[in-house]
Structure 1
Amino acid sequence: MENDNENDFYEDVLPSFEMHNFMFNRSIYDTEDIRQSSLPQYDELRSCPNAQAAATTEEQFSPLERPELLVLNNLESLQTISLPLKVSITMTKKFPVFGQPYEEESPLRCFQPGEMVMGWVSVENTSQEPIPFEMFLVSLEGNITVPISGDRTSAKLHQRTFLRTYDISACYHHGSINPTPFVISRCMMVDPFDHANFGFPPDQMLLPGVTHKKFFAFRLPNHVLDTACDHELVEHLYCPPTYGVDPVAHGGKALELRVNEALGYGRLDAKGSPIVTNDSNDRGQSVSYSINLRILGRPLDSYKKFYKQDTTHDYKFIVLKDMSHQFRFTNREIPEVYDISSLQSQVEKVESEINDLMAKLEERGRLIEIGVTDPKELDRIIADKYDAKKTIEPAINQPLPPPSAAHKVKLGKRFLKSDADFEVLIGSDPTTTVSSFGPEPLERIALLHSKSSTSSKASVSSRQVSRNSSLFDATSDPTLPTEVDSELHNLSISLRTSEGYLPHNVSVKLTLKVINIHSSYAIPLVFNQNVPGDFYSPQAFLKMNRKFEHYLQQLRDLASKTDQRVPKRLYENLLCLNGLRYREKNYEFFEKQQIQLEWNKTDSGHEAIAQIPVLFSKDKVRTYNLLPSFQNCYLVRQYMIGVKIGNNETINVPIRVT
């Protein structure tokens, strides 16, 4: 079997019941010692790790009923200490083979959905004493950060893990799994290539001076599970591209990264460092993907010498070592959104729910004032009045705007210095798209490393590519592209007039408007291609913020007077729309154009239809990273093209970047 075909033969192995409980179903209150030298026999009675013997205390809850008690759902809240363990994560171009050399993956590679991320993790005990561990976890993770407040200088961040999946064969468990076509060997055999032990001993002890390693492989998804979106919106489930820089990566050092204009990116001289590009992110906003290694332990006196100043011995599990290795990811397979109600109607739906609740609370307050105090009686009266009314009133279905939305404006005296009036319509439809692209120098270097892996010559080591790398190596290869290859489309423009003056050409200037929207509460909206250009403005969002701030204060007052709680989902929607932050950046990436017009006679006058090519100036976008449009529960990236005809005001047309 050829080694190049491992992607076609890689297997998925489902865990046994015992393995699943040991790895994924353990409670943070689990005190049972389930270490064992071998798996139990099928006829052996063994209690589940969740079946606590002392189930009489308040802490003993089943994680099946309360998933928030699972160890894997509490990793961020566990205390962390740093034991003398040397750990590493290495990504490779091919799946590692036992006893054979490997080639490291370039840190500049940008992965896409469906591709495999492969490599190995290792741990070495550098102390003079054996170190026990309880869990060894290798995961693929996607994380998002947004500022909690609208203040750009705020250091407070909301962090959310939207993707976390584990490689069972790479994690520690009782037994061995070889989910590849290659024979790896059994646990604790020494790899003759690097003299590392494959796997771990059954007593879960890391001996002094001994290195252990495990192989991992993950297939990158296009979208995540529906549980990742609190509102169960399908449009929020597609994996967004890498965006910005994780502010907490490498102890916060990554936040200080700056783009080297000669390279088109910036990175730390450290393995697994995030890469910063000119992608128009705002401070505190980021989407990152990484391979993570976590080693967990149980309460042991031997750990005390490694406690931090604020470490307490009151824990059930503790993080002995935590490491992440970031990589770049993009997703050009996010579909367009046209078959959903307009943004305005979505906002009005939330308003309607708020008004319904306020009406019920006001009625409850009036009933309490006249002496009705029994809660059941209050609920019955309000339900009879409002729920019955709701079933009688017919639902009003607002028509959806057509896929092709026109933007009308009047062009007056300033248009070509004439006194004639013109009406212009600029079409916005599924063909109004622009292909995403990365910084040209970065793409060239990444392609160079990709080509070197298949060349018979000695490959360029990924360690040589740093923030100080030279571009001259790339220019020596005539097969490398000399410019960014980006598929571009046109804007359709229609000019109508009843006047007799018909110009032969018009000057058109385009501007790229990059829009970032974020909230520290789950966004209940879907941003679609039917959005009118005037909705995307600081004024429109500020008006919405103030409106929902007023609603929020009213609801709080009514809830306090009636001793009622606002439903959690509605309350968080209120907080989101009150704190939804909008920021727009404009870029002059296009050259001014002269568009030729051919006029046709109509019943009301004349009409000219022309196409405006969306042509980027390659010099201006050389180091820019144009990301695909995306949206999830906390962060939205959208785009508009500003069209300025003659000396008139700019017309904003939403576009989609794929």
Structure 2
Amino acid sequence: MQAGLTPQENAEENTHPEDYDHIDYTAAFLREDRRRQVSQEILRRANVPKDSLDWHTGFVDDAEYRDFGDGNDEVYFDVLPSFEMHRAVHDSSYFRGQSTEEPPEYSQEATPSIARLATSSTSNDQTSSTDADASEPASLAATLSSHRSSIATASTDYSSISDQDIPSESIGLDDPTNVHKLPRMAVSPKLTVQVNVTKSAPRIGQKQEMESMLKEYTSGDLIHGYVVIENATDREIPFHMFYVTLQGHVSIVDSESKKLYNRRFLHMIDLNASWSFGCISPSCNVQYKYGDKDWDDCYLGLPPNRVLAPQTKYKKFFTFKVPYKLLDNTCRHGQELHTLLPPSLGVNRYFKNGKYSQIQINDALGYGHSGRRGSPILTRDMSNDKTINYSINASLIAFHPTLKDRSGQPMPAVMCDEDYAVRFIPFGFGVSLFSSNKAISRLKQQVQGSIKNAQRKLMLSIEGNEDAVAQLDNEIKLQQLTLAHGENVTRHDLAFPLRNQSHSDISRVDIKHLYVPQASKSLFGKKKSLTSNEAGWITITTHVPKDGLPYVSPSLLRKTNDVSELNALGLANYEMMNNSLSPDEKKKLTSLDFDFSFLPSDMASMKMTSPPEISQIVCKLVVGNVSSTSSIPVKMWSDFFICDNEKFEKMRREFADFDAELAKIKAEFDARELHIERYIDRSIFEDVKAMKELKSDVSVHPVFKTTLSEKNSQTWSRGEDGSWSRHVKVHLEFHDLIRETLVPNFQSCLLSRIYCIQTEFKFRNSQKIAMVRVPIRLRWFD
């Protein structure tokens, strides 16, 4: 095929592509064809009616496509592409050559010859192609794979990788997660990529309504849209790859070093929207062939020769399904909570050289954005330079004209890209409420044991006792086996519940308060003496509630994302999740119960007729952000971080001492040319660093209207032992004009959001205030 032809000319020209001897789809095609046959059999047996609203897993040929009628936007193929499919489409060894000829085409008609192809050639020196006409449409029937376009990978980018760690032949190609590491090259400001998100699945020839800028997506929602690639120049522009991805990033600014730490925890690829040699059916279930034009004069699809014609626009449709959770390898510590998608939080003001740094909150609206579609939304969510952002990214990649990799091959570079921010709020519970004490104590014991083994190794090496060293090595192996078994048991016990578990996770919070009344004044202005029998200890006890507070957002966001505004698929997803929980599990927290006991300092005294009365009750919301620049190895709970700051600082100092001791031991091992990894695992160094660098910023917000329930509260009653007790119920209600945005609490590897209700009790004739902080959940159900 000749470069520079328009898409229509390409479609009309009858050419015979050269054999690509370095491409072998045989193994992947065999696997995908078996999957296709099974999926079609499932569809045939299902006998899906015309107007049903269903989710299908299988490939649809032309006849089956027509059976769905006009409501094709209600059919979505929710199948994950296999590993073989992903590697076959995106392996860099297939794309290193810069030939612009058409690739071999595979279609259903070629199926009978699969066995012959498999037996005749499996190496890169052979070819597997058909004589199918190159101008045949990229229809639903003619495809390499039965897999849908959405969700190729969902991976975690744990840390920045140096150039020495990346093979030269794989930068950004066989692993699309490396695209963000590619250099950029300026081509022309008239070469643009535009991402558009629509309310519903696309329909060919019809203008789609754009999605609201204030749209919030939740778990299991579909994100529909299209990308327009426009070459408005007067010359041809070749490209090499094109990717459309859904990504999630967490960013943290260290308050001391002023460094910015980024980590990508979500990376999903729409294989159909991205460019590939294969013909991949779109998830949104639309039929088109390359060369067709849509309503806006855009050619559907990208040119097979990978050359953008001058003064031409191209369109690719995409569909993403927001996952309910991340892959298991997201958290190297195996923490179930860390695999749940966190809500959108804050705005990364350092993204792309401060692209969104000028966004300000409108006081009247309670939020702010840049004024253009795809802008992130800034709210008063107390993020404090800690952000979690989701976006749809489209990147057009070519080979750089001057830069070379280590093997002398042209280096790929990003010609242009575009991002569209999407706001995400997870459905359901955020976290269970347990204490962090056991997990942190277990981590300390593990670190201390490793340090002890390393010190023992050093001592035995100095003595030259080889038998004792061998015995130590065996002991360490047994310790590792025991530890691995204990971790498996622990992970099963702490698995995240979608709903409240059958066993109780309620814990108790109690504080002791010394009540010392103020000395009253006499008629002559002198203070009366204070006798010891007027003072005493007040103990306040409450239980951590299972009910939670609702997600709170600005009024216009609530109105835009009301359930009544959902489309058919969005409503079906909401009802599916909502119906999986009982009404008891979705109860909102409306009150807190407290038990008081008073023990007078002078039990022998009978002068006290009753304990002190409560003169005032004030409830406030405590918001805590717990973060680290390395993966946090344990679950973070409010009882440890925002209820007892002194305890938190003590823990940090202990791990700082561990870090110093580990550095000293490593220096001694290096001096003796010993391998410390055999005695102290690398993960120990990383975990100690993460705990040492833990930071907790806490803020208190008066968001509640607080009233004492006289009906459900009791007066003081005296016990036989001389102590006094009473029960108090405090009603909670958000202020009508609450300014803050309260996102669900969550935990991730680098960042966690924790909430407490701070209840302050003031007693008559006393200036001191008794304060109780109760950990709570905050979640979204409606």
TM-score in terms of structure 1 length: 0.80
Q: Which amino acid in the other structure matches residue 204 of structure 1?
A: R
Pick from 742, 752, 755: which aligns with 1:639?
A: 755
Distance 1:50 1:497, change over 3 A: farther
CA distance in 2, matches of 1:384, 1:16: 41
Q: Pairwise mapping of residues 601-620 of structure 1 onto structure 2 (< 5 A)?
A: 602-604=719-721, 605-619=723-737
Distance 1:576 1:94, change over 3 A: same
Task: Give the equivalent residue in structure 1 for 2:187.
Answer: 83
Q: Pairwise mapping of residues 215-254 of structure 1 onto structure 2 (< 5 A)?
A: 215-254=317-356
**Is the contact between residue 655 and residue 688 of structure 2 (CA under 8 Å) also seen in structure 1?**
yes
**Is the contact between residue 547 and residue 588 of structure 2 (CA under 8 Å) also seen in structure 1?**
no
CA distance in 2, matches of 1:411, 1:329: 46
- State yes or no: 1:292 paired with 2:380: no
Task: Give the equivalent residue in structure 1 for 2:38.
Answer: none
**Is the contact between residue 541 and residue 581 of structure 1 (CA under 8 Å) also seen in structure 2?**
no
1:441-472 Cα offsets, whole Å, 9 max, x none, are: 4434x359986999xxxxxxxxxxxxxxxxxx
CA distance in 1, matches of 2:547, 2:539: 17
Q: Pairwise mapping of residues 220-369 of structure 1 onto structure 2 (< 5 A)?
A: 220-283=322-385, 285-299=386-400, 301=401, 315-338=410-433, 342-369=435-462
1:91-138 Cα offsets, whole Å, 9 max, x none, are: 111111100111000011111111111110010112222111121111
CA distance in 1, matches of 2:428, 2:421: 21
Task: Give the equivalent residue in structure 2 for 1:628.
Answer: 744
Task: Give the equivalent residue in structure 2 for 1:651.
Answer: 772
Distance 1:60 1:507, change over 3 A: closer
Q: Pairwise mapping of residues 52-201 of structure 1 onto structure 2 (< 5 A)?
A: 70-84=174-188, 85-147=191-253, 149-151=254-256, 154-179=257-282, 183-191=286-294, 193-201=295-303
Q: Which amino acid in the other structure matches residue 661 of structure 2?
A: Q
CA distance in 2, matches of 1:195, 1:386: 68
Q: Pairwise mapping of residues 381-396 of structure 1 onto structure 2 (< 5 A)?
A: 381-384=471-474
1:226-274 Cα offsets, whole Å, 9 max, x none, are: 1111211111111111001123335313133221111111111233111
**Is the contact between residue 92 and residue 119 of structure 1 (CA under 8 Å) also seen in structure 2?**
yes
Q: Which amino acid in the other structure matches residue 436 of structure 1?
A: Y
CA distance in 2, matches of 1:29, 1:581: 45
How much has 1:36 moved relative to structure 2? 3.4
How much has 1:6 moved relative to structure 2? 5.5
Q: Pairwise mapping of residues 32-47 of structure 1 onto structure 2 (< 5 A)?
A: 36-39=102-105, 42=114, 43-44=116-117
**Is the contact between residue 326 and residue 341 of structure 2 (CA under 8 Å) also seen in structure 1?**
yes
CA distance in 1, matches of 2:293, 2:394: 21
Q: Which amino acid in the other structure matches residue 544 of structure 1?
A: M
Task: Give the equivalent residue in structure 2 for 1:423.
Answer: 538
How much has 1:46 moved relative to structure 2? 6.8
CA distance in 2, matches of 1:495, 1:16: 60
Distance 1:214 1:233, change over 3 A: same
Distance 1:276 1:431, change over 3 A: same
Q: Pairwise mapping of residues 521-600 of structure 1 onto structure 2 (< 5 A)?
A: 521-528=630-637, 532=639, 536-562=643-669, 563=674, 564-565=676-677, 566-591=680-705, 593-596=707-710, 597-599=713-715
CA distance in 2, matches of 1:317, 1:264: 43
How much has 1:164 moved relative to structure 2? 0.9
CA distance in 2, matches of 1:512, 1:627: 13
Pick from 26, 32, 36: which aligns with 2:92?
A: 26
How much has 1:184 moved relative to structure 2? 2.9
How much has 1:419 moved relative to structure 2? 2.9
Structure of higher CA gyration radius:
2
CA distance in 2, matches of 1:579, 1:49: 50
How much has 1:38 moved relative to structure 2? 3.1
1:422-446 Cα offsets, whole Å, 9 max, x none, are: 63434233435211110224434x3
How much has 1:386 moved relative to structure 2? 5.9
CA distance in 2, matches of 1:593, 1:548: 43
CA distance in 2, matches of 1:79, 1:49: 30
CA distance in 2, matches of 1:59, 1:404: 47
Task: Give the equivalent residue in structure 2 for 1:460.
Answer: none
**Is the contact between residue 541 and residue 580 of structure 1 (CA under 8 Å) also seen in structure 2?**
no
**Is the contact between residue 545 and residue 578 of structure 1 (CA under 8 Å) also seen in structure 2?**
yes
Q: Determine helix, strand or coil for the equivalent of 2:777.
A: strand
1:324-349 Cα offsets, whole Å, 9 max, x none, are: 100111013235325x6x31221121
Task: Give the equivalent residue in structure 2 for 1:510.
Answer: 619
How much has 1:488 moved relative to structure 2? 3.9
How much has 1:498 moved relative to structure 2? 5.5
Distance 1:624 1:315, change over 3 A: farther
**Is the contact between residue 422 and residue 495 of structure 1 (CA under 8 Å) also seen in structure 2?**
no
Q: Determine helix, strand or coil for the equivalent of 1:294.
A: strand
Task: Give the equivalent residue in structure 2 for 1:12.
Answer: 78
Q: Which amino acid in the other structure matches residue 109 of structure 1?
A: K
**Is the contact between residue 589 and residue 617 of structure 1 (CA under 8 Å) also seen in structure 2?**
yes
CA distance in 2, matches of 1:362, 1:157: 36
Distance 1:550 1:624, change over 3 A: same
**Is the contact between residue 508 and residue 595 of structure 1 (CA under 8 Å) also seen in structure 2?**
no
How much has 1:494 moved relative to structure 2? 0.9
CA distance in 2, matches of 1:69, 1:178: 21
**Is the contact between residue 241 and residue 398 of structure 2 (CA under 8 Å) also seen in structure 1?**
yes
Q: Determine helix, strand or coil for the equivalent of 1:272.
A: coil
Q: Determine helix, strand or coil for the equivalent of 1:107.
A: coil
Q: Which amino acid in the other structure matches residue 489 of structure 1?
A: T
Q: Determine helix, strand or coil for the equivalent of 1:649.
A: strand
**Is the contact between residue 498 and residue 606 of structure 1 (CA under 8 Å) also seen in structure 2?**
yes
Distance 1:28 1:18, change over 3 A: closer
**Is the contact between residue 158 and residue 520 of structure 1 (CA under 8 Å) also seen in structure 2?**
yes
Q: Determine helix, strand or coil for the equivalent of 2:660.
A: helix
Residues 319-328 or 409-418, more deviating: 409-418
**Is the contact between residue 513 and residue 586 of structure 1 (CA under 8 Å) also seen in structure 2?**
yes
Residues 252-261 or 21-30, more deviating: 21-30
Q: Which amino acid in the other structure matches residue 431 of structure 1?
A: K
**Is the contact between residue 176 and residue 187 of structure 1 (CA under 8 Å) also seen in structure 2?**
no
How much has 1:615 moved relative to structure 2? 1.7
Distance 1:59 1:441, change over 3 A: closer
How much has 1:358 moved relative to structure 2? 1.3
CA distance in 2, matches of 1:509, 1:415: 21
Distance 1:618 1:225, change over 3 A: same
Identical amino acids, percent of aligned pairs: 23
CA distance in 1, matches of 2:625, 2:388: 13
1:127-154 Cα offsets, whole Å, 9 max, x none, are: 222111121111111111112x342xx5
